[in-house]
Amino acid sequence: MATLHSIAGSRSFRVNWLLHELGVPVGIVPYAITDGSLQSPEFKTKSPARRVPALEIDGRVLYESGAIVQYLCETRSGHTLMPAIDSAERADWLQWLHYAETLGAGIQNLNMQHLFLPKDWMKSPTVMGIETKRLAIALKAVEAALQDGRDHLLTSGFSAADVMMGFTLESASRYVRFDGFPMTAAYLARLKAREAYQAAEAAEGPQQFYTQDFYDLPEG
Ligand SMILES: N[C@@H](CCC(=O)N[C@@H](CS)C(=O)NCC(=O)O)C(=O)O
């Protein structure tokens, strides 16, 4: 049994979803971003940056989502979520796995601006505009990869790279309209229809970040 320290709707969803794809039983310990629970001395021993996810598994704690996803793929057998090390697709898999964090960093900055800075005077419309543009530019790589009609990031089919990316796209769609990214929108819908995605969502409960479907840039 794995134990996942998690905030519903955060990057810990990647790990939650992957564990469901793998059929690994998981107990979820819930946290919230604004109630101080991430700052508890006990959680600090599990995640030095006091962030989620943190996964207790195999007698250790891991606290970086991409590393956790790769570790799970490498240590669990009987799945097709990772191309073999000598496969031509392995480098693409690794790149997509980590490219999800290029998007994730931009989303995190936008979350800070739109959701967490408590006063309007603290927010920077300039930063919001730049980060939104940078996120849209980064999304173009995903759209381009899907142009050849493939259903997933790898031509061989669904993999853990889609797990890293799927959660990220769900968050990105709060800040960049996907009308200009039709392949990406259809890809995200395919991912969200997966049984394991839905089971993971049900296991962690409603996401805790967004109260709007879309966040426009401030006027001016
Ligand atoms: N690169 C890390 C980022 C972890 C991270 O920043 N998690 C966010 C939630 S998505 C968090 O815990 N934020 C709490 C905070 O910044 O105080 C990963 O992918 O695991």
pLDDT tens profile 69-111:
999 999 999 999 999 999 999 999 999 999 999 999 999 999 9
Give the start-to-end residue ranges of the domains of the chain.
2-75, 90-203
Strands lying side by side in the sheet with 2-6: 26-30, 2-6, 54-57, 60-62
The closest of 171, 170, 152, 172 to 162, measured between CA atoms, is 152
Question: CB of 65 closer than 6 A to ligand 1?
Answer: yes
Provide the residue count of the chain.
220
Structural tokens at position 203? 């296991």
Write the CATH number of the domain with boundaries 2-75. Answer: 3.40.30.10
Closest ligand 1 atom to Cα of 33: 14
What count of Cα atoms within 13 Å lies in the side-chain half-sphere of residue 75?
11
Beta bridge partners of 30: 6
Question: CB of 5 closer than 6 A to ligand 1?
Answer: no
Q: How confident is the model at residue 183 (pLDDT cuts 50, 70, 90)?
A: very high
Please list the alpha-helical segments (H only) found in 150-181: 160-172
pLDDT in tens, 15-42: 999 999 999 999 999 999 989 999 999 9
In this predicted structure, what is the pLDDT of residue 136? Answer: 98
In this predicted structure, what is the pLDDT of residue 156? Answer: 97
Share of the chain above pLDDT 90, in %: 98
3-state secondary structure of 2: strand
Query: Is the confidence at residue 220, as pLDDT, over 80?
Result: no
Query: Is the confidence at residue 219, as pLDDT, over 90?
Result: no
The closest of 64, 66, 32, 30 to 47, measured between CA atoms, is 64
- Is the distance from CB of 162 to CB of 191 less than 8 angstroms? yes
Q: Omega of the bond prior to 53 within 30 degrees of 0, cis?
A: yes
Best probe residue, ligand 1, of 46, 51, 116, 164 (max atoms within 8 Å of C-beta): 51
Query: Is the confidence at residue 215, as pLDDT, over 80?
Result: yes
In this predicted structure, what is the pLDDT of residue 61? Answer: 98
Name the CATH code of domain 90-203 (choices 1.10.357.10, 3.40.50.300, 1.20.1050.10, 3.40.50.10140).
Answer: 1.20.1050.10
Question: CB of 112 closer than 6 A to ligand 1?
Answer: no
Query: Is the confidence at residue 68, as pLDDT, over 80?
Result: yes
